[in-house]
Structures are given as structure tokens and as C-alpha cells.
Structure 1
Amino acid sequence: MKRRWTALALALGLTVSLTACGSGTTGAANTPAGGNSESPAGNSNTPAAESDLAYVKEKGALVVGITEFEPMDYQNTDGEWIGFDADMAKAFAESLGVEVQFQIIDWDNKVMELDGKTIDVVWNGMTLTDEVTSAMECTNAYCNNAQVVVLPADLAEQYPDVASMSDLNFAVESGSAGQTQAEANGFTYTEVVDQATAVLEVSSGTADAAIIDSLMAGAMVGPGTSYADLTYTIQLNSEEYGVGFRKGSDLAQELNQFFVDSYADGTMTQLAETYGVQAALIPQG
């Protein structure tokens, strides 16, 4: 389904200047909402000592750090990792001539996992925050997103705005954008391992509400889903997704070009339509 792409040939030890994370404005370096307008790579004082691209090709595998996150990364009934991010990661690994390996990570430790080379990339609907862009070499933004509140459907009308939710106990993924929004709005919250668990807490009644990504909420709660008795309501912010590599990694620029090429030939849009995220897709080029 996908054609192979020509990899950038970079010598070991070469210092490279990489494209910044950002807003998804076509034809320009992108900037995350609330983030810096300058490239994190351009501001980095610690560029990669060697080519990550060469490292991944030499070992023959791209190790992708993920959490359970439908529709981006999740397992089908056969135990295979699928989803928009998972399928894009498979296609990118194929373009590099290596296999893909998926590794579940503790989201709080994602930077440590990268720097320790337990994984090579964080590709899991990751919000481009200032913290993320300062710690990782990020790609351009590829999807729009927001943090939304998940509640029991029969109670949703009682909580039309942030002020009405002040007495609720929220479940949030530890270290996530959802936790950031809980703190910003002064909510009482409990940290859990991932967003799927946050939704489960609401369903089981151990939390009043959860804050999760809108893309996940659209796929996971409401009529026709496993959580038909839940719904999502107010949007707390707007944000963008990017992919993160080790600081100074030349793989970020390689993936930026892959995004441009796969968007141009329709592969990216086709995969987005498969998982129902096409409306959130940011044009690449």
C-alpha cells in the first residue's frame, strides 16, 4: 500500500538543523499553541552526537513508545497494534527499511525512555506542549485535538460549564495534557496510568468525570461504543499532536518529509479516514 521513501544520508557526528514543532501552518515552521515560535532544534545546545537514522537502520528496528489510546494506538482482537499512529509508524519504518516494534511506556517517563534508548520515538497522540518541545526533537504538527470532559450521559446536563464541575473528582492520565487542564481549572483529580483507565474509572463510578483527548473520546464513548452510557461535553482547550524523538535526532526531519510525501500521495488521508480522524488532520507540505 505504501511506497518506500529515500532516506537522508547523514554521516555520523554531523550536527543537523531540524524543523520545529508547531501549529500546522502549511509551508512554514509550525508552532504549538502557547509555545515558542523558534525551532527547538535550533535552540538546542545539545545536538545528537550521532545519527539516529543510522542507529535505527543499523539495528534494523524502530521502537515506538505508546500507550493504549484508541483510535491512535490500540490492539485488535489478534493482539496486533493498529490505529492511525500505529499504521503511520509501520509505514514510516517500512520507508526506512526496518521493522517496527511497539513498546508500552509509562507516559511520565517518556523522555527518560527516549534518552535511555529503550525506545526511539514517542508516537501516541502526543500534545506539543512547551515541556515536550524543550525535551524532545519534535515533528511538525499533524493532527488537531482538544481536552474534553467525559461524564455519565444521564448527568451531563447538570454540568454545562467549568464552574459547575468544581465539586467533581476527575480521573486523568498521569503526566498528560488532561492533568494539565485539571490543574489549570482547579479540579480535584486522581492520576491513573492512561486515558483508557480514566474512562474506565468513570464507567465504574470510582471517578465522577475524566479529562481525555477529544479524538479518543469520539472513538471510545457514546452510542455504539463500549461506553454507551458515557458522553463527552465541554472542550477545555485546543492543541496539536506531534511525534517526539531524542533531542537533536535527525529522524524528526526524516519523518517530516515522510509526512509531506504521504499526505501528497493520499496515504495519510486514507489512513485517517480508516480510523475516523480525517477532520483533525493537518495538511502537510
Structure 2
Amino acid sequence: MKRLATMVMVITASLSLLAGCSGSKGSVGEDNKLVIGIDDKFAPMGFRDEKNEIVGFDIDYAKAAAEKMGTTVEFQPIDWKTKESELSSGRIDLIWNGYTITDERKEKVLFTKPYLKNAQVVVTLAKSNLTKLDDLAGKVVGLQSLSSAADALNDHPIKSRIKTVTEFSDNVLALSDLKIGRVDAVVIDEVVIKYYMAKETGTFKLLSESLAPEEYGIGVKKGNDALLQKLQKALDEMNQDGTASKISQKWFGEDKVLK
């Protein structure tokens, strides 16, 4: 009986240890890998190229930071609507793909310092007669569901005068519907639409007024201060040694990273 009791205690202790190990993922990347949740249709921050490889500013930025931290990265495409749930559940370690810092999100995640300025703008077709926000009255406007574009529009008085707000799972679908006339305009990140305007010259134009300025940050799970501090240290080093500037020059043609 004593021997049996001893075996039960050993097995119980082993199971407890395994449970503890599985629950520790992501504190500072003990498995030497950080899983980063992204929207893989968010050019130029993170998207798939013609070879179906995930590329972009945030992708290069994350890889460089991981190298500074002595870890590797895995980019996990996620449903952007569930990004905070993916983080809190431990399925991803970071939200890093044009993730706007807001007071509401600060209640759910930890943020690094802002690293890039952005704005929510309204795009329409170049041939459209829409020129300012007031022109959206009575129109159909598209945007990405549960995005900062939705937040910006909800906070603006023009929202009450818009006929219909159509939500899409990503910006690519929203812009596709704009081009075929299913929506009259799209609320979108400035850095994103400028990328598409450069690729499709003469297709789009921006309204003269933006909806809201904003800043991008990297989201870390609440309580994981150790990972936040290690990541921020790497980002600060990248600012100091010119790594961040080189990545910005590659994707934007100028140094846009906040110091």
C-alpha cells in the first residue's frame, strides 16, 4: 500500500509539472519561439506576396526584434475580429500587424510604445464626385469589421447620416466591392490605402478630411510584463542602431518609425 501511495504521489506530481509547463508558454518565449497573430491581407504591414509568402513592414520589423531577443518567430494568420481572444487564450504571444492603440484595447492587452503614426481615412474611386466627409451622407460605406476604422467612424458625427455601413472580413474585400460599385467609399488605414494607390495608379482618391489620427503598437497578453519589457528593449535598440530606419526605408521610402 505504501508503495502504491508513493507511485500515485509521483504520478500526480509529474502531471502537475506538465500542466505548469504547458501554461507557461509565451511568458518570454521559453520554447524560443514567439507566435505572432497577423491579418495576412493588410499590406504593406503584413500580407502574402505573389509566391504566397508572408511579407511586409511588420513582418521584417518582428523578425529583426526577435533576433535581438534571441528568439525565432512564427506568423499565425488569424481572424482579426478575435485577435484579443487569441492572445488571452495563449494561442498567440503577440498581436503585431498594424494594431492601433486605443483606450478600449488597453483594458484587454499590454502595449509597447507607439512605433508608427497612422490615420483613418476615407477612400473612393478617382472618378467619384465625393470629395469631403459630408458627401458620405446617404451613401454606402465599407470597412473592416471590428477594426479601428469602425471605431473612428462610430465616433464621428457623419456616421448618423450614412445610409449603410457594410462590414468586411478584410480590406481587400472592401476595396474590391468599392471598385465594382457595391459601396461608395471605404474607411481604411492611411498606410494601407497609400500602398494600393501606388500599385493601382489612377484608381482611387482620398477624401480631403481624415476621420482620426492614431498610432500603432504591439499587443502583449495582460500580466506578461517580462515579455513586454524584453520586446520594448529590442525595439529601442533597433531605433538606436538604425535597424528600424532601414526597414522603414524599404517599405515606405522614408523613416516613419517613431523614436
With normalisation by structure 2, the TM-score equals 0.82
1:231 equivalent in alignment to 2:205: yes
1:167 equivalent in alignment to 2:138: yes
The structure number with the bigger radius of gyration is 2
**1:203–1:227 CA contact under 8 A, matched in 2:** no
Measured against aligned partners, the alpha-carbon deviations of 1:216-245 in whole angstroms (never above 9, x if no partner) come to 111112xx5146411222311111000001
1:139 equivalent in alignment to 2:112: yes
Alpha-carbon distance in 1 for matches of 2:253, 2:144: 21
- Which letter maps to 1:176? S
Match of 1:199 in 2: 175
Residue 108 of structure 1 deviates from its aligned partner by 1.6
Segments of 5+ residues of structure 1 without an aligned counterpart are: 1-48
Structure (1 or 2) with the greater helix fraction: 2
1:61 equivalent in alignment to 2:33: yes
After TM superposition, the structure 1 stretch with the greater mean CA deviation from structure 2, 159-168 or 205-214, is: 159-168
Residue 148 of structure 1 deviates from its aligned partner by 0.6
Residue 252 of structure 1 deviates from its aligned partner by 1.5
With normalisation by structure 1, the TM-score equals 0.75
Alpha-carbon distance in 1 for matches of 2:242, 2:100: 24
Match of 1:176 in 2: 147
Match of 1:128 in 2: 101
> Secondary structure of 1:108's partner?
helix
Residue 51 of structure 1 deviates from its aligned partner by 8.0
Distance 1:62 1:117, change over 3 A: same
Match of 2:221 in 1: 246
Match of 1:41 in 2: none
Alpha-carbon distance in 2 for matches of 1:94, 1:226: 35
**1:174–1:193 CA contact under 8 A, matched in 2:** yes
After TM superposition, the structure 1 stretch with the greater mean CA deviation from structure 2, 58-67 or 136-145, is: 58-67
Alpha-carbon distance in 1 for matches of 2:180, 2:146: 22
Alpha-carbon distance in 2 for matches of 1:122, 1:277: 25
Alpha-carbon distance in 2 for matches of 1:106, 1:151: 26
Match of 1:80 in 2: 53
Match of 2:240 in 1: 264
Residue 98 of structure 1 deviates from its aligned partner by 2.7
Alpha-carbon distance in 1 for matches of 2:138, 2:256: 32
- Which letter maps to 1:135? K
Q: Percent identity?
A: 31
- Which letter maps to 1:239? E
**2:65–2:238 CA contact under 8 A, matched in 1:** no
Residue 69 of structure 1 deviates from its aligned partner by 0.9
Structure (1 or 2) with the greater strand fraction: 2
Match of 1:214 in 2: 190
